[in-house]
Structure 1
């Protein structure tokens, strides 16, 4: 089974700005590098939060529908018996089946699970961004208003590199979880279809 691909408008990586590292321009290059690293995180958070809202909307709708249908499915037989029309009680089974179908639909398309993953990933990246900003400010405070040395520049570049790597790792972990969940759902679907009895003609 080939791995699924995400949509064309998926999260990407912004281009690294042109950095010259010329004498007298080191602080400007470092500021551009910091802005780029923060943009990587900001775009990832924005993407996950936007997708989270869509998944949350569908998850709430399907779960609410399942609750309503399950409630009605349990109430219909009681009402049918109370009104001395037991034949209408069978409608309760249909409503319960529809409630189960709403839950299965949510599970198959991963609305609820994706909602939780997206929130967790966005929160993780936001925490990494806060740590990066504080760490960068600490290192720049040590530089003060002078031109940074070569070692200080290398340390700041490593700080930015490590931060971007952690952001990309968070995205990769979420993507791997999504892919594993997708493969599991497709496997369950294939097993279910193979277990169905053949439809006879005539």
Structure 2
């Protein structure tokens, strides 16, 4: 694992400034700006996934080949099919296979591309929700009757865009935090990074838990405290 650049780390994206004399055009401009940023973020993670997946396949293929060769050569040496140096080459193959496994875990190839896929899919799902929410707000204003004043309608649209931007930022922050933990440890477990698979549900659950805290109520679980023995009466 080495130096890594996040999308927009160095330059960022300037907030578009415009004239609110035409609120509909201004809101449409802001929506395009937010949507473009989400698409760029998802595209960055998908591009980052590509080379990591290739590296993971090479390392995992090397580990499998080393295990097969390392197990086959000593057996052939015992049967006398090959020369006496086959066992030494078998041990070397096993060593190379172990090195491939260690390299995959240390450099985070497999876990990295799985995490990239999870984050990209999570951003795409958020974008789909935004698109339907924005269509609902637009239909509400066109079909009517409009709820409240024009200022309140614009405030609702801005709230939808702000919440979406916060969700995408939180997804990127959570993925970056996982990468930092893996970079420090060198071998973070896969289950804690991808959750329930490449769909990103585990990542979303971690974000929701960090935002809303541990659930409480009749259905929530709580640790069982040991019962204390009542004092004896004399």
Asked if 1:11 is matched to 2:10, the reply is no
What SS class does the counterpart of residue 19 from structure 2 fall into? Answer: coil
Whole-Å Cα distance in 2 between the matches of residues 38 and 177 of structure 1? 25
Superposed CA offset, 1:35-73 (max 9, x none) = 011011101000000000011010011101111111011
Question: Taking structure 1 as reference, are residues 5 and 66 closer, same or farther at Cα in structure 2, changes over 3 Å only?
Answer: closer
Aligned to 1:94: 92
CA contact (8 A) 1:14 1:39 kept: no
What SS class does the counterpart of residue 186 from structure 2 fall into? Answer: helix
Whole-Å Cα distance in 2 between the matches of residues 50 and 16 of structure 1? 25
Whole-Å Cα distance in 1 between the matches of residues 53 and 39 of structure 2? 21
Whole-Å Cα distance in 1 between the matches of residues 85 and 132 of structure 2? 69
Aligned to 2:168: 167
Aligned to 1:190: none
Q: TM-score under structure 1 normalisation?
A: 0.83
Deviation at 1:6, TM superposition (A): 2.8
Q: CA RMSD in A?
A: 1.9
Asked if 1:121 is matched to 2:122, the reply is no
Asked if 1:155 is matched to 2:151, the reply is no
Query: Aligned pairs, how many?
Result: 179
Question: Taking structure 1 as reference, are residues 33 and 145 closer, same or farther at Cα in structure 2, changes over 3 Å only?
Answer: farther
| 1:50-129 alignment, distance < 5 Å | 50-83=47-80, 85-129=83-127
Whole-Å Cα distance in 1 between the matches of residues 41 and 80 of structure 2? 57
Aligned to 2:177: 176
Q: Which runs of 4+ in 1 moved over 4 A?
A: 145-148
**Which stretches in structure 2 are left out of the alignment for 5+ residues?**
188-234
Whole-Å Cα distance in 2 between the matches of residues 174 and 71 of structure 1? 35
Question: Taking structure 1 as reference, are residues 145 and 18 closer, same or farther at Cα in structure 2, changes over 3 Å only?
Answer: farther
**Which stretches in structure 1 are left out of the alignment for 5+ residues?**
187-202
Superposed CA offset, 1:77-114 (max 9, x none) = 11112226444312211110100001101111101110
CA contact (8 A) 1:77 1:86 kept: no
Higher relative CO (Cα under 8 Å, sequence separation at least 6) belongs to: 1
Aligned to 1:143: 141
Whole-Å Cα distance in 1 between the matches of residues 135 and 43 of structure 2? 24
The structure with the largest helix share of the pair is 1
Whole-Å Cα distance in 1 between the matches of residues 75 and 173 of structure 2? 51
Whole-Å Cα distance in 1 between the matches of residues 55 and 123 of structure 2? 24
CA contact (8 A) 1:48 1:122 kept: yes
Whole-Å Cα distance in 2 between the matches of residues 145 and 34 of structure 1? 20
Deviation at 1:143, TM superposition (A): 0.6
